[in-house]
Amino acid sequence: MNVNGKHYRTIWMEGSSVFMIDQNALPFEFKIYKASTYLETCCAIKTMITRGAGAIGAAAGFAMAQAFQERTNNKKNPWRQGDTQKANCHEYATEQLSFFENARLKIEATRPTARNLFYATEKVFTAGLKSPGAAMAEAQKLANENIDEALKIGEFGNSLIKKGSRILTHCNAGWLGFVDYGSALAPLYVAKTEGKDFFVYADETRPRNQGARLTAWELQNEGIPHKIIPDNAGAYLMSRGMIDLVITGADRIAANGDTANKIGTFEKAIVAKEFGIPFYVAVPFSTIDFSLTDGWQIPIEERDEDEVLTYSGPDSEGVIRTIRMASPGSAAFNPAFDVTPACYITGFVTEKGIIEPNKISSFR
């Protein structure tokens, strides 16, 4: 995506540092966050400086590559110093492997629902056991594949968008949620380049407001007509015949097609089915977890209650401040995701084409 005339990826790696667009600062400020160590990249994933299935996967892959680089470049590392006798001993090899395994566990603990995160760490960890260079190459490969997948998702999904289509989205599955182009918004971007006339309603997506802050920012940046709506307005719009298509992303999909996505997605799917509105989920195959038979097995991340109880934004002087917006003394429950059963999903828009939920398992 281009921002102020310059093309950016959402996340990239240079040397031993990972750079990412700071999504916590958007839409009020566009800035780049630098993570110099794998633990800093872990923190960026956990605190949602970078977010979205594809971007999380890329970040996890880069973090794993950083861990291999950091251990190898450590001045006290006898492998680096050429102490052949000690480097070849079993005790040292065990210590080395333990470091990498612990790093992998720390990375995977940052966002436990996101399948792409586990997919990337597994791939880069396996490559890193050969060499740090192999880990870096694998992480870069996964990031590039994420872009290619998003482009294909956009091309296949474009067929769903007709002239005059009114589309409802939930959360943000655009360019910021991938390394580039996005998943749920990728078909919209392709449709825009083809000159199609359509309109987007973006759920605000509480409590982090990804729709109001990120999806809306992306759509505005691309010149796509849109309006932000409250999360609980979707049923009203659908009942009034104001929505023709619902399209979302996903963070993990079970083998039977049950889908975990940002909390509130399940409600939209139920209402869409009630009114006969197509409900599509746009994802690359790396988001599908074939080891899980159904959605009940998907781990659901629970985040800090402050995300529900407080809100951050600029004051009249442009200073970002956090205020409490709920009753003092009240606690909050903050599940980050819900699971939409496959029976409510019309189809999956993937890099392999549009697939019906009951066909997912055949790609195992």
Active site (annotated) includes residue 180: no
What φ, ψ does residue 168 adopt, rounded to 5°? -105, 135
- Residues of the chain falling short of pLDDT 70: 74-94
- Name the residue among 15, 69, 10, 77 with its Cα closest to residue 38: 69
Domains in the chain, CATH or no CATH each: 2-150 (1.20.120.420), 154-363 (3.40.50.10470)
Q: What is the pLDDT of residue 93?
A: 58
Residue 268 to residue 345: CA distance in whole angstroms: 11
Q: What is the pLDDT of residue 320?
A: 86
Q: What is the pLDDT of residue 82?
A: 44
Q: What is the pLDDT of residue 250?
A: 97
Placement of tokens 């760490």 in the chain:
121
What is the pTM (predicted TM-score) of this model? 0.92
Residue 21 to residue 214: CA distance in whole angstroms: 12
The active-site residue out of 251, 258, 289, 338 is: 251
End-to-end CA distance of the chain: 33
CA 304 from chain centre, in angstroms, equals: 19
Quick: pLDDT tens for 15-28. Answer: 999 999 999 999 99
Tokens found for residue 2: 């281009």
Q: Do residues 178 and 54 touch, judged by C-beta distance below 8 A?
A: yes
**CA of 109: how far to CAs of 57, 117, 273, in Å?**
13, 10, 35
